[in-house]
Structure 1
Amino acid sequence: MIWRDEHGKSLADHERPSVAVDVALLTLPPGGDELGVVLHERTGGHEAGRRALPGTFLHVDRRETLRDAALRALRDKVGVTGREPRQLRVFDAPDRDPRGRVLSVAHVDVVPFALLAGSAAEVVGLGSLPPLPYDHDDVVAAAVAHVRDVYRAGPDPLGLAGEEFTLLELQTVHQAVLGTPLQKDTFRRHVLPGLADTGRTREGTVGKPARTFRRR
């Protein structure tokens, strides 16, 4: 049986756009005061020599899923494995790719900086990003907005501060993610219900040792 739509056309009669995935992989370099974005330099083909988000076309003929394509892009383009990026949104502007009609299913993930050691990832701060090809600037903006919404909900939900941290270290991470200074007392009242005191302290650069906490 051949499926036909209300106009009598079969599936083969409809033009098929290409489907791609692009991954906005965000991190926070040690001592950094802003989020960083993982980029790679495109080699060969279209936009060669420009830095871009890791991405790839979906291998429909291999019955590849969007998830698997995103994982392949991270592995092949920047040498990052063991992640689980989540779908962010579809970017479908008709002119987003000059090569033809390409839909991009953008993904987002946040990775602790230490886990990028040994990879080919190049981390560029948000304030230093070069103009990116296609609509990767828009993908980054959407990814950052998503991550900031997540961080407004509770203490370091994506683990950028590590397993154990002081309140000052936690506030520093949140300020870097949100891109804005935070009032100390207000911040602590907001996050303390979601934290557990470890019973340990950590020597600081000034003053007395600070208590350390972990997420509940």
Structure 2
Amino acid sequence: MYANLASMVWKDEHGKRLSDYPHPSVAVDVALLTVLRDGRRSRLAALLHRRPQEGSWALPGTFLRLDERLDEAALRALRDKVGVTGQHPRQLKVFDDPARDPRGRVLSVAHVDLVRADRLEDQVNDEVILAPIDGFDVVLPGERDELGFDHADVVREAVRWARSAYDERPDPAGLLDTAFTLYELRRLHEAVSGIQELQKDTFRRHMDPHLEETGEWSTGTVGRPARLYRRRTPTE
């Protein structure tokens, strides 16, 4: 019975099979964000690679294979395009503008992750860069450099995602060490939010319910030692 079902070819009311209809290709692009030290301040940055034929910068991406899941394609894109492994990007948004790819009709299922800079810095070279983000846009190294496809829109959506996450909880991506001072936490949230200086008391009141003291103090820093905190687990 099952063998007979497997051998049947599906057709619609017009007698057409799925292969008779034009269909778009599916791509997966990954916005891998981090917080990068930029002079005296820190700010968000995105990992980009230079496309070998066109010469433009782009997010790591690839076409989905018939035998793989979207998350598998995202991991493959990170490994093959920028040499990054061990991440867990999540789906961000589908970008479906018919004109988004000059090669043809391509849907992009964008993924996003926010990771520590030290996990990415070893991959940086002439062809892979950490491009700082100013507002919602990446700052490319050359005046004539361009970001391919609609990846500027993907980056903007990824920045919104990161800022929304950091508005709710203290360092949800775990960019800081397990224990940290309130000053370190505030500086990190300023970098993610793009706000030059968050109001100290307001920030502390907002984050305080999600923090607990470790009972220890910072050492090896200039000035007076500061209390160390850690994030409360969601069940507490």
TM over 0.5: yes
Q: Establish whether residue 23 from structure 1 lines up as the match of residue 27 from structure 2.
A: no
Aligned counterpart, 2:3: none
Could you tell me how far 1:4 is from its partner in structure 2? Answer: 3.1
Aligned mate of 2:222, from 182, 205, 213: 205
**For residues 33 and 12 of structure 1, what CA distance do their matches in structure 2 show?**
50
Q: Establish whether residue 184 from structure 1 lines up as the match of residue 190 from structure 2.
A: no
What one-letter code is carried by the residue in structure 2 that aligns with 1:58? L
The SS at the match of 1:87 is strand
Going from structure 1 to structure 2, the CA distance change for 1:210 and 1:135 (only over 3 Å counts) comes to same
Compare CA radii of gyration and give the structure with the larger one.
Answer: 2
Could you tell me how far 1:139 is from its partner in structure 2? Answer: 0.2
Task: Provide the aligned length of Structure 1 versus Structure 2.
Answer: 210
What one-letter code is carried by the residue in structure 2 that aligns with 1:138? D
Give the gaps of 5 or more residues in structure 2: 1-7, 141-145
The SS at the match of 2:26 is strand
The SS at the match of 2:214 is strand
Aligned counterpart, 1:51: 57
The SS at the match of 2:163 is helix
Going from structure 1 to structure 2, the CA distance change for 1:2 and 1:137 (only over 3 Å counts) comes to same
Aligned mate of 1:148, from 160, 163, 171: 163
Going from structure 1 to structure 2, the CA distance change for 1:139 and 1:6 (only over 3 Å counts) comes to farther
What one-letter code is carried by the residue in structure 2 that aligns with 1:205? V
Query: Percent same amino acid at aligned positions?
Result: 55
What one-letter code is carried by the residue in structure 2 that aligns with 1:176? A
**For residues 29 and 84 of structure 2, what CA distance do their matches in structure 1 show?**
14
The SS at the match of 2:191 is helix
What one-letter code is carried by the residue in structure 2 that aligns with 1:78? V
RMSD in angstroms over aligned alpha carbons? 1.6
**For residues 188 and 137 of structure 1, what CA distance do their matches in structure 2 show?**
33
**For residues 157 and 43 of structure 1, what CA distance do their matches in structure 2 show?**
35
Mean CA deviation greater in 30-39 or 174-183: 30-39
Q: Establish whether residue 168 from structure 1 lines up as the match of residue 183 from structure 2.
A: yes
After superposition, residues 26-175 of structure 1 pair within 5 angstroms as 26-30=33-37, 32-44=41-53, 48-60=54-66, 63-120=67-124, 121-127=128-134, 128-130=138-140, 131-175=146-190
What one-letter code is carried by the residue in structure 2 that aligns with 1:129? V
Aligned counterpart, 2:17: 10
Could you tell me how far 1:82 is from its partner in structure 2? Answer: 0.3
**For residues 180 and 12 of structure 2, what CA distance do their matches in structure 1 show?**
58
**For residues 153 and 177 of structure 1, what CA distance do their matches in structure 2 show?**
12
The SS at the match of 1:33 is strand
**For residues 148 and 159 of structure 2, what CA distance do their matches in structure 1 show?**
18
